[in-house]
Homo-oligomer: A and B are copies of this chain.
Amino acid sequence: MRVTQLFTKTTKNAPADEVAKNAQLLIRAGFVHKEMAGVYTYLPLGKRVLEKIIQIIREEMNDIGGSEVSLTALQNSEVWKKSGRWDDQVMDVWFKTKLANGTDLGLAPTHEEPLTQLMKNYIHSYKDLPIYPYQFQIKFRNELRSKSGLMRGREFWMKDLYSFSRTQEEHDAFYEKTADAYAKVFDRLGLGDFTYKTFASGGSFAKFSHEFQTVSPVGEDKIYVHKEKNIAINEEVYTDEVLAELGVSKDELEEMTAVETGNIFTLGTRFSDPLELNYTDENGESKPVIMGSYGIGPSRLMGLIAEHFSDDKGLVWPANVAPFTVYLVSIGNVKEQADKLYADLTAKGIEVLYDDRDERPGAKFADAELYGIPYRVTISERLIAEQKLEFTTRTATESELLTEDELLAKLA
């Protein structure tokens, strides 16, 4: 893509009403626009990052047998009344609205109820199980406060996968499989080294659930980590009993501040009981389906990655989620050669943002840094005379001079 086609612009100053660093940077770089607190428009560069995060999660969910669906935001009250979660006192983040005929509707803050209800059409026998539908869907949550930028949204992207299993054993095996898939997602996003699978409270059907907690000073959670044993414990279950069960002692644990970036949860029959989602087993006996839920928030991850990897010059995207791989800067009267290089790189499948503006080099370099594109390639009259290109990584302080062949080899 050419920068002259990109309608967004970078700005020096963040908007005064935006207090979160991730949103400040993303707004300054023109990746998102704030509609209101917790509600962000994704602009072309931000949309590309969001889609890359979504695609990584999608691949890992498909890999463990997930089937992608897309549920609806508009919700009838019926199934939510059966589960007891229609009441604003019970679920305090509902946005409610009404059909033209006066019928009450809600905007789904999560999708256990409608999906459980839907599955009554398809699950009858043990032969129909197990199954793993998932979706990327906009969730609506009427948070009282929303000051963390993309990290706590009122309208935000969520990947939610649900498991429907015959037995506890079958459920447990998939639960572990999902935990492994989540670890792969965090690795691919560049967050693996400081994201911990963390023991958290389990609700009625399991002693523990697990959160994926990514260490960050802006986190709202406290976790206790044993790095060698790779054990992490959320504050809410940080008790002597749990420590004894996990074979760790307080003095071995490091307290860290972290952001919950994923969670996996054993639902048991919490929803299959009230909504009567049952199946007939091999012996003709009717049994409730065992459920689990597995969430990761792509927009929260985008905020976290923006916040974590940034420096004083701007954003620093890991290569896997960067909106483009290369920022191509042309300096001076080199349009023909720069156009050709852009075409060459693009033909090789390399994603290039080509700064073809009539703008001074310093401004182009500053934008490349604020955008956080991993590699910058500069072409100028002087460099063309030497048959070289200047190659700079976003995180390095030094540049190197490469021939076009050397550049292509490096980016391959």
Q: Which residues of A contact B (CB under 8 A)?
A: 5-9, 30, 33, 35-36, 39-44, 47, 50, 65, 67-76, 95-101, 105, 107, 114, 118-119, 121-123, 128, 131, 133, 138, 140, 142-144, 154-155, 164
Contacts of A98 in B (CB 8 A): 95
B73-A73 in contact (CB<8A)? yes
Contacts of A101 in B (CB 8 A): 144
A97-B97 in contact (CB<8A)? yes
B7-A122 in contact (CB<8A)? yes
A76 to B42, CA, bound (A): 17
A118-B65 in contact (CB<8A)? no
A67 to B9, CA, bound (A): 14
A75 to B35, CA, bound (A): 8
- Known contacts A5-B67, A6-B67, A67-B7; is A107 also within 8 Å of B97 by CB? yes
Contacts of A68 in B (CB 8 A): 44, 47
Contacts of A155 in B (CB 8 A): 72-74
- Known contacts A118-B41, A122-B7, A122-B9; is A47 also within 8 Å of B69 by CB? yes
- Known contacts A33-B118, A118-B33, A131-B7; is A39 also within 8 Å of B74 by CB? yes
A44 to B36, CA, bound (A): 33
B7-A128 in contact (CB<8A)? yes
Q: Smallest Cβ distance from A4 to chain B, in angstroms?
A: 9
A35-B76 in contact (CB<8A)? yes
Contacts of A44 in B (CB 8 A): 67-69, 133
B121-A74 in contact (CB<8A)? no
Looking at A9, A70, A101, A114, which has the most chain B CB atoms within 10 Å of its CB?
A70
Contacts of A70 in B (CB 8 A): 41-42, 47, 50
A-B contact pairs, 16 of them (CB 8 A): A6-B67, A30-B122, A33-B118, A35-B74, A35-B114, A41-B114, A44-B68, A44-B69, A47-B70, A50-B70, A73-B140, A95-B105, A96-B97, A99-B154, A101-B144, A107-B107
Contacts of A97 in B (CB 8 A): 95-97, 107
B95-A69 in contact (CB<8A)? no
Contacts of A107 in B (CB 8 A): 97, 107
New A-B contacts (9) at CB < 8 Å, excluding given A7-B133, A41-B71: A7-B67, A7-B128, A35-B76, A39-B72, A41-B72, A41-B114, A41-B118, A95-B97, A100-B144
A65 to B2, CA, bound (A): 10
A2 to B154, CA, bound (A): 37
A121-B33 in contact (CB<8A)? yes
Closest to A42 in B: B70
Q: Smallest Cβ distance from A282 to chain B, in angstroms?
A: 15
Q: Which of B36, B50, B122 contacts A8 (CB 8 A)?
A: B122
Please list the 9 inter-chain residue pairs (A to B) with the smallest Cβ-Cβ separation, ordered nearest first. A7-B131, A42-B70, A44-B67, A95-B97, A97-B97, A35-B72, A100-B144, A41-B71, A74-B155
A75 to B95, CA, bound (A): 13
Looking at A42, A71, A73, A100, which has the most chain B CB atoms within 10 Å of its CB?
A100
A41-B65 in contact (CB<8A)? no
Contacts of A36 in B (CB 8 A): 74, 76
Contacts of A96 in B (CB 8 A): 97
- Known contacts A7-B67, A8-B122; is A40 also within 8 Å of B72 by CB? yes
B67-A42 in contact (CB<8A)? no
Contacts of A8 in B (CB 8 A): 122
Contacts of A100 in B (CB 8 A): 142-144
Contacts of A114 in B (CB 8 A): 35, 41
